Structure 1
Amino acid sequence: MLWLGSPTHNRCALCESRTTMGYRLHFVEPLVILYLFGQTLSGPPTQVYIYNRILHEIGNGSRSAGSVDHGGSANGSHANGSHESCGGSNASDDSSKAEEEAQEQMSQFYLYLSLSGFVPIMAAGLVLGALSDNHGRRVALMLPLVGDILSTVIFILIVHFELPLWILYISNVLTGFLGGTTTLLGISFAYVADTTTKMNRNWRVALLEMALGAVGIGASFASGHFTKVAKGIKGLLAPFYFEVGVDVVCFFYAAFFLHETVGAGGGPPLLADPQHAPSDRHQQGQQGQQGQQQQGQQGQQQEGRRKTVGDYARETVRGFVLLVRAGGDPARRCRLLLLLGTFATVALAFFGGSGLLTLYQQGPPLCWGAVMVGYGQAFFCCVYVTSFIGVTLASRCRVPDGAIALAGMASFAAGMVTTAFARTSLAMFLANIPLMFTVMPAPVIRSMLSKAVQPSEQGAVFAAVACVEMVSALVSTLIFNSVYTATVAWFPGFSFLLAAAFMLIPMALVGVVRCTRDPQPHYTRVPTDNGDASPAYGSIQ
């Protein structure tokens, strides 16, 4: 396989996109959109069923464990968008106690469910991310899809045969070793980094982030009404059948229609836009050819020997060692650690604040029901679209990456303060206005991290980012849920103020990153087909 470098290599590399089945595509966004839409649509029915099962096991056997009422909730008290007993005591004392106990057990169940899959998913994410740098992105994308199909089928069997809920723990552990959503998103961002240049990477990463929000908008509207009209087990399982079908489509898309961006032997990625290929990729292409010659000599010595598990393990470790060493450059290593710390604290504040919105909206004084919560989630997901517009305009105006990230962090802090004092539905919806640029830091920091590493390290760095994001989500749940429980009696909005205060930490880290300049900026020029030279920007702004 020929790498990008000279104009001849460019043309040959692009010709390799043509296969016996036609042209392969360079866009991973359709796969991510379909996959997340299926998962988001099946989320509320999963919660409804588990709540019903727990409530039934506690002793409230007045309804079938698999049934869903027209009110769109597990207890039938969310009709017309509000709780019947929110802020009052219209329900009987026994029913109220049973519902409170069911909510506590469901909260613990989901916490234990997250913990059960934490280690397998993190291990799989790190391994698949590093291996994708050497063996390609497509296989690393297909494995999480297989895991999601298996976990969804297991859940369908649990509902059909009313199997014990503890089987979900086993399912989460087994399928977690295939990656999960965290791994799929990490590999998808690495794929985007492979097919973009440092000039347009902000825009493409932000586009993928916006796709996640667009999925949330549609699925939130659909799920709110779906849980309201679903009847019986057949209605409840319809989203899960849909999710299995979507996963199968995504699997075939990755296997037969998606272009592989990593060459054989772990060579440099093949860019979709060769004329603007950065100089480091050009140098990597030359190094890749030399590496192929060395591999050929080693292959003659080791002819007939197949790779063992130990070989793959060494490749994984080597990928992360190269990432940690940062080419022996202390300044680059410091920058990588600062950016990872910035992303971790941004994710901690974001997950902590946004994760409590539904709980806050369901309680007094708002007392929102299933439909209103769906509307609220859909309006909140609009910040993905407005953030994408903000990143696009700022990037075209050559605004530094650090300034874009700071603007997004300030937007989140302002929105959290506004949400903390929202006491009416109108005020809650208007709180989305200061939140409109909330998601801008995530794609920008991902892009900054991608620009700080070599093309052969993209999978490793995005796997590290995915694991950091997963840890931040778990830690934020433990911290903010505990704080919300302790402060809900005297000030329900205190947790949102805490999330705004947390955002001051990454804002300070971004300031430090902006003061840490690249000692060897890659402002070089790469020859093009017509003999001109196009700039390739390699420094972090």
Structure 2
Amino acid sequence: MAAPPARPEPLLFLATLALGLQGPLATQYLWERLGAERGYGPNNGSRRAGCGNSGNGSTDGLRQEVEALVSHWNLYINLGGFFVGLFSVTLFGPWSDSVGRRPALILPAVGMALQAAIYLLVMYLQLHVAYFLLGRILGGLMGDYNLILASCFAYVADTTDKRTRTFRVAILEACLGIAGMVASIGGGQWRKAQGYINPFWLVFASSLAAALYATFCLRESVKEQKPARLFTLSHYKAVYRLYTAPEQLSNRRKLALYSLAFFLLVTVHFGTKDLFVLYELGSPLCWAADLIGYGSAASYLAYLSSLGGLRLLQLCLEDTWVAEIGLISNISGLVVISLATTTALMFTGYGILFLSMAATPVIRAKLSKLVSKKEQGALFASVACVEGLCSLVATGVFNSLYPASLHFMRGFPFLFGAVILLIPAAIIGWIEIWDSDHDYSHFPDDSSLPQTAGQQLGN
């Protein structure tokens, strides 16, 4: 009896650990580097004044200028990664349906290691922060983190049946939370003690370890491998056919609707997550690196609590209604965070988000069940493209909305995100109701049932 394939969870954990360390550290590095260039920072006391109760207008204006500048650089970096990753993910994803998942896991992990190496050079040599964009583009050329996500979820779809798939997908997403929590707590304390460079060495090491695990430990999950050309339009056509093939029209319609719901949900998730650090750095919260680490850990804890909640709720509810409860948790938490002016209220908002990640594994599993085994790579490549588009829209909308709303409500982007989440809640509920009505309509009425011999004699 053949040994079961090694699980992809360790690889996803390592890649997410690298990403979870890199995101907040890079944002804080940009904050201090760009703030120091404009005379705003802890060394000259302006940071202290800006977070105090003095209400100094010039300091507040300087702080808002630095916040806006950091927000814009995050936008440029994410834009560069999106446009490159859009083409590479849709190339590598369908290609993995033929040649296997391992190549599509090794390449992006190596790309993440290269990106971390470039970030380290920027910090060591004090290069212009535009080199962050170069590192992001190089990582995007090799598929970036989105390809790792797509390939891991396709790997799980290859090795599970429809009954167990939702929970296995949720376990993968829980790995995101565990790695993110470790990265947030460790990264915040490490950054406070030793600065940026040493934690970034762990980013590089984790990415490299993920590549080595995919190379030497992970067994192939695609049973019928066959050689296939990489640079061909057929891979892009495979993604296109998912949504346009005439067979099973109702499935294709649900595929599009679930993808729209997923797009809106992940856009809000990415957009608000990008702003948490800036929101916590600014007045009136004025959090230090350790509190930022605890806050990020609290947000990642939602992955674990959502996994437990999903498992319990599945005992008495359909997956759809579990997703709806998760969306209610997400909406409520964002509303509280949008009004947070104290540390206690901010952590209360994080606590209300405890089921906020229950909706995404349900949607991923439902998407996977709508296509065949041979289309899983193409499907999750398209989902990765949706996630890349989410990153683009999230950074474009939320990172532009944040500086524009600073003068009237600093938490407005979180309130905006809560309102947007009402749309996927409506879509998911409508599909479930439509499916129930459709199934009910298949029951024949009494007049259409064949008559028994006794009924025929009575007539």
TM over 0.5: yes
Matched, 1:262 2:218: no
Aligned partner of residue 119 in structure 2, secondary structure: helix
User: Aligned partners of 1:496, 1:52: CA distance in 2, in Å?
Assistant: 24
Q: Which amino acid aligns with 1:29?
A: E
Aligned partner of residue 223 in structure 2, secondary structure: coil
Contact 1:408 1:437 survives alignment (8 Å): yes
Corresponding residue for 1:273? none
Q: 2:20 aligns with which of 30, 40, 65?
A: 40
Q: 1:221 aligns with which of 185, 191, 208?
A: 185
Matched, 1:355 2:274: yes
User: Aligned partners of 1:90, 1:489: CA distance in 2, in Å?
Assistant: 14
What does 1:256-295 align with in structure 2 at a 5 Å threshold? 256-265=216-225
Contact 1:411 1:434 survives alignment (8 Å): yes
User: Aligned partners of 2:208, 2:281: CA distance in 1, in Å?
Assistant: 35
Shift of 1:327: 5.8
Contact 1:335 1:516 survives alignment (8 Å): no
Shift of 1:424: 2.3
Corresponding residue for 2:125? 161
Shift of 1:369: 2.1
What's the CA shift string for 1:127-155, capped at 9, x where partnerless? 11111111100000000011112222222
Contact 2:71 2:400 survives alignment (8 Å): no
Matched, 1:110 2:74: yes
Shift of 1:472: 1.7
Contact 2:243 2:256 survives alignment (8 Å): no
Corresponding residue for 2:42? 75
User: Aligned partners of 1:51, 1:501: CA distance in 2, in Å?
Assistant: 29
Contact 1:144 1:184 survives alignment (8 Å): yes
User: Aligned partners of 1:385, 1:391: CA distance in 2, in Å?
Assistant: 10
User: Aligned partners of 1:75, 1:392: CA distance in 2, in Å?
Assistant: 46
What's the CA shift string for 1:47-69, capped at 9, x where partnerless? 34444443455578xxxxxxxxx
> Could you say if the C-alpha distance between residues 334 and 37 of structure 1 is closer, same or farther in structure 2, counting changes exceeding 3 Å?
same
Q: Which amino acid aligns with 1:388?
A: L
Aligned partner of residue 41 in structure 1, secondary structure: helix
Q: 2:34 aligns with which of 43, 49, 54?
A: 54
Q: 1:389 aligns with which of 305, 308, 317?
A: 308
Contact 1:145 1:251 survives alignment (8 Å): yes
Corresponding residue for 1:5? none
Corresponding residue for 1:428? 346
Shift of 1:161: 3.2
What's the CA shift string for 1:486-510, capped at 9, x where partnerless? 3333333333222221111111111
Q: Which amino acid aligns with 1:238?
A: N
> Could you say if the C-alpha distance between residues 229 and 388 of structure 1 is closer, same or farther in structure 2, counting changes exceeding 3 Å?
same
User: Aligned partners of 1:378, 1:430: CA distance in 2, in Å?
Assistant: 14
Q: How well do the aligned residues superpose, as a CA RMSD in angstroms?
A: 2.9
Matched, 1:239 2:239: no
Q: 2:11 aligns with which of 8, 31, 34?
A: 31
User: Aligned partners of 2:247, 2:255: CA distance in 1, in Å?
Assistant: 13
Aligned partner of residue 253 in structure 1, secondary structure: helix
Name structure 2 gaps, 5 residues minimum: 440-459
Matched, 1:249 2:209: yes
The aligned length equals 439
Name structure 1 gaps, 5 residues minimum: 1-10, 18-23, 61-73, 267-305, 521-541
Contact 2:102 2:214 survives alignment (8 Å): yes
Aligned partner of residue 439 in structure 1, secondary structure: coil
Shift of 1:435: 1.5
Q: Which amino acid aligns with 1:504?
A: L
Contact 1:130 1:463 survives alignment (8 Å): yes
User: Aligned partners of 2:381, 2:22: CA distance in 1, in Å?
Assistant: 26
Whose helix fraction is larger, Structure 1's or Structure 2's? 2
Matched, 1:343 2:343: no
Shift of 1:454: 0.5
Contact 1:116 1:169 survives alignment (8 Å): yes
Q: 1:461 aligns with which of 370, 379, 384?
A: 379
Q: Which amino acid aligns with 1:348?
A: T
Contact 1:216 1:381 survives alignment (8 Å): yes
User: Aligned partners of 1:124, 1:169: CA distance in 2, in Å?
Assistant: 17
User: Aligned partners of 2:410, 2:35: CA distance in 1, in Å?
Assistant: 26
> Could you say if the C-alpha distance between residues 160 and 480 of structure 1 is closer, same or farther in structure 2, counting changes exceeding 3 Å?
closer
What does 1:189-228 align with in structure 2 at a 5 Å threshold? 189-228=153-192
Contact 2:264 2:424 survives alignment (8 Å): yes
Aligned partner of residue 408 in structure 2, secondary structure: coil
The sequence identity of aligned pairs, in percent, is 33
User: Aligned partners of 2:269, 2:228: CA distance in 1, in Å?
Assistant: 42
Q: 1:513 aligns with which of 419, 431, 437?
A: 431
Contact 1:83 1:368 survives alignment (8 Å): no
Corresponding residue for 1:185? 149
Matched, 1:374 2:289: no
Aligned partner of residue 432 in structure 1, secondary structure: helix
Contact 2:72 2:399 survives alignment (8 Å): no
Corresponding residue for 1:86? 51
Shift of 1:254: 0.9
User: Aligned partners of 2:106, 2:422: CA distance in 1, in Å?
Assistant: 38
Contact 2:190 2:199 survives alignment (8 Å): no
User: Aligned partners of 1:150, 1:98: CA distance in 2, in Å?
Assistant: 34
Aligned partner of residue 163 in structure 2, secondary structure: coil
> Could you say if the C-alpha distance between residues 161 and 480 of structure 1 is closer, same or farther in structure 2, counting changes exceeding 3 Å?
closer
Q: Which amino acid aligns with 1:492?
A: R
TM-score, normalisation: structure 2 = 0.87
User: Aligned partners of 2:32, 2:401: CA distance in 1, in Å?
Assistant: 27
Aligned partner of residue 111 in structure 2, secondary structure: helix
What's the CA shift string for 1:263-304, capped at 9, x where partnerless? 3445xxxxxxxxxxxxxxxxxxxxxxxxxxxxxxxxxxxxxx
